């Protein structure tokens, strides 16, 4: 059997090379100068965590240390001379056990099929996949902060607000994958990684079902405690299966225990099929009651009774997050949902929306707070994410702004010399997003272009509104 995989389709440098196959193992880095191709040099200089001798290089990647290992693979911290950066290198282990080899084959093909396809701020990028005669390996973005596994014990739980934000971002990442025809099938704490800033990245698509790729629906690749009931019944994989696994992980992160327990895999599977978990508020009384309803939906035995889509699940998670977060902190989930609801940014896709979340200045302000003042300089674009504000000029009331409305677009269009033509003052407590020209230039070119087109439409609508008012007054 011959599997085909893309090699180096997308790297951080956006380099592009041709596809490679098992029959041509060295083509995976044919774009690298011959002087850099040192895959045949294996000088033993380090040892792995298991005490084994570690090679100096695998392919074009220099091995630095072992990050972890599983039943079918070892993950190394490696260095790529071509990219001049660290990355994580998953090396699949050869094994005489036919079952394990088959599982490893499926995992490799699933990840190889996704090289360069998963471009999302909360998904680990898969950069390269290479199949040589005696081994296969996958190069991925390196995320240095470890996984959520260390936060699954009762004595080391994360703050509830942080859990909500992580699960919300998981929903966003899985929604993106689902729309590409991908079901992850292995959602669990050890596959949610944290970067150096504490933000999350979804990892390990080795168990994924990828539409159009020669992987199998019937393999039991999910981790036993997180397996959805329909997979145990050998039903086709769907997004609702990932929702069930996410629900198990959420339950565990909130309480420090798993909802379905047993001493053996068979007992755990039996519990998944038959047991209704205890409400989380009985295990942790300080949790908002809304978590019981969310987990009840996520952990339904019938996938048709779970949330219809990831957007619905994300909104439920975001709503309970707002109940448990101090006013001084603006959760990313609220920023994201506010941007998706605004006419200014509602046409953005998920990637562009997260881009705007990261490159905005967000602040909570009280009622009667002056955001911009008539006659003062200012060229930033602003958005009311929550609350209302009044627009006045020359002492006259011009307009009332609601959640989702933007203002300051004339100053932004005029540039650094712009003078505000009106005063905007909040009439209720409000959440304001400010986008300075400097921050907007840091957004992707696609995001900037879409924003520019939307601003032109907003300006045209407001000009028409002003003309209509003049006509009525005349």
Give the separation between CA 221 and CA 241, rounded to whole angstroms. 13
Among candidates 408, 423, 407, which has minimal Cα distance to 378?
408
Dihedral (CA of 379, 380, 381, 385) sign: negative
Dihedral (CA of 265, 247, 147, 161) sign: negative
What pTM did the predictor assign? Answer: 0.70
Residue pLDDT, tens place only, 232-269:
998 989 999 999 999 999 999 999 999 999 999 999 99
Residue 430: CB atoms within 10 Å:
22
Give the separation between CA 101 and CA 98, rounded to whole angstroms. 5
Query: How far, rounded to the nearest angstrom, does the alpha carbon of residue 425 sit from its chain's CA centroid?
Result: 35
Residue 64: CB atoms within 10 Å:
14
Share of the chain above pLDDT 90, in %: 47
Give the separation between CA 230 and CA 101, rounded to whole angstroms. 25
Mention every residue, 6+ apart, whose C-beta is less than 8 A from residue 243: 298, 303, 306, 307, 310, 313
Query: How far, rounded to the nearest angstrom, does the alpha carbon of residue 169 sit from its chain's CA centroid?
Result: 5
Give the separation between CA 233 and CA 62, rounded to whole angstroms. 43
95 annotated active-site: no
- The predicted pLDDT at position 322 comes to 61
Q: Going residue by residue through the chain, which has 474 residues, state the pLDDT in tens, using 9 for 90 and above.
A: 333 333 333 333 333 333 333 333 333 333 333 333 344 444 444 666 666 778 899 999 999 999 988 777 899 999 999 889 999 999 988 765 555 556 777 788 888 888 888 889 999 999 999 988 888 999 999 999 899 999 999 999 999 989 999 999 999 999 999 999 999 999 999 999 999 888 899 999 988 888 877 655 555 567 899 999 999 998 989 999 999 999 999 999 999 999 999 999 999 999 999 999 999 999 999 999 999 999 999 999 999 999 999 989 998 998 886 644 334 568 888 899 999 989 888 888 888 899 889 888 998 888 888 999 999 999 999 999 999 999 998 878 888 899 999 999 888 888 888 999 999 999 888 999 999 988 888 888 888 888 888 888 877 776 776 677 667 665
DSSP states of 217-244: SS---S-GGG--HHHHTTPPP-HHHHHH
Q: Which candidate in 128, 162, 186, 350 is catalytic? A: 186
Find out whether 425 and 383 touch, Cβ atoms under 8 Å.
no
Give the separation between CA 343 and CA 320, rounded to whole angstroms. 25
Among candidates 57, 109, 143, 67, which has minimal Cα distance to 216?
109
Residue pLDDT, tens place only, 288-345:
999 999 999 999 999 999 999 998 999 899 888 664 433 456 888 889 999 998 988 8
Among candidates 226, 148, 227, 223, which has minimal Cα distance to 191?
148
The SS3 assignment for 108 reads helix
Domains of the chain: 4-140 (3.30.200.20), 148-325 (1.10.510.10), 336-473 (2.60.120.10)
């Amino acid at each position: 059997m011959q599997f085909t995989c893309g090699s180096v389709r997308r790297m951080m440098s956006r380099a592009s090379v041709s596809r490679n196959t098992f029959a041509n193992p060295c083509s995976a880095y044919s774009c690298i100068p011959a002087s850099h191709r040192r895959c045949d040099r294996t000088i033993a200089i380090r040892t792995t965590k298991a005490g084994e001798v570690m090679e100096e290089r695998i392919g074009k990647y220099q091995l630095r240390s072992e990050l972890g290992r599983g039943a079918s693979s070892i993950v190394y911290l490696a260095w790529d001379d071509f990219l001049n950066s660290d990355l994580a290198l998953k090396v699949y282990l050869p094994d005489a056990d036919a079952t394990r080899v088959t599982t490893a084959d499926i995992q490799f093909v699933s990840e190889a099929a996704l090289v360069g396809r998963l471009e999302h701020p909360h998904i680990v990028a898969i950069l390269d996949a290479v199949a040589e005669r005696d081994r296969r390996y996958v190069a991925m973005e390196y995320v240095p902060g470890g996984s959520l596994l260390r936060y699954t014990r009762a004595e080391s739980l994360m703050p509830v607000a942080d859990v909500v934000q992580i699960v919300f971002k998981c929903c966003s990442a899985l929604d993106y994958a689902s729309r590409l025809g991908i079901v992850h099938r292995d959602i669990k704490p050890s596959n949610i990684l944290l970067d150096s800033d504490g933000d999350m990245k979804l990892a390990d698509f080795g168990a994924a079902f990828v539409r159009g790729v020669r992987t199998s629906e019937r393999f039991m690749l999910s981790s036993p405690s997180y397996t959805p009931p329909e997979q145990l019944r050998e039903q086709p994989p769907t997004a609702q299966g990932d929702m069930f696994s996410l629900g198990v992980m959420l339950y565990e992160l909130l309480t420090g225990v798993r909802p379905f327990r047993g001493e053996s895999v068979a007992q755990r599977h039996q519990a998944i099929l038959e047991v209704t978990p205890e409400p989380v508020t009985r295990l942790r009384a300080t949790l908002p009651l809304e978590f019981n309803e969310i987990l009840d939906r996520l952990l339904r035995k019938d996938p048709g009774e779970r949330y219809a889509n990831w957007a619905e699940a994300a909104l439920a998670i975001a709503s309970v997050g707002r109940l448990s977060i101090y006013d001084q902190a603006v959760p990313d989930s609220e920023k994201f949902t506010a941007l998706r609801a605004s006419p200014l940014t509602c046409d953005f896709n998920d990637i562009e929306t997260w881009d705007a979340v990261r490159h905005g200045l967000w602040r909570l302000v009280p009622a009667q707070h002056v955001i911009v003042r008539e006659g003062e300089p200012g060229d930033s674009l602003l958005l009311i994410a929550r609350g209302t504000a009044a627009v006045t000029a020359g002492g006259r009331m011009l307009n009332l702004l609601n959640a989702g409305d933007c203002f300051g677009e004339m100053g932004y269009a005029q540039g650094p010399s712009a003078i505000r033509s009106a005063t905007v003052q909040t009439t209720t407590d409000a959440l304001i997003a400010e986008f300075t020209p400097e921050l907007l230039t840091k957004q992707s070119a696609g995001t900037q272009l879409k924003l520019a087109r939307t601003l032109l439409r907003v300006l045209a609508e407001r000009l028409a509104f002003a003309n209509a008012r003049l006509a009525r007054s005349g």
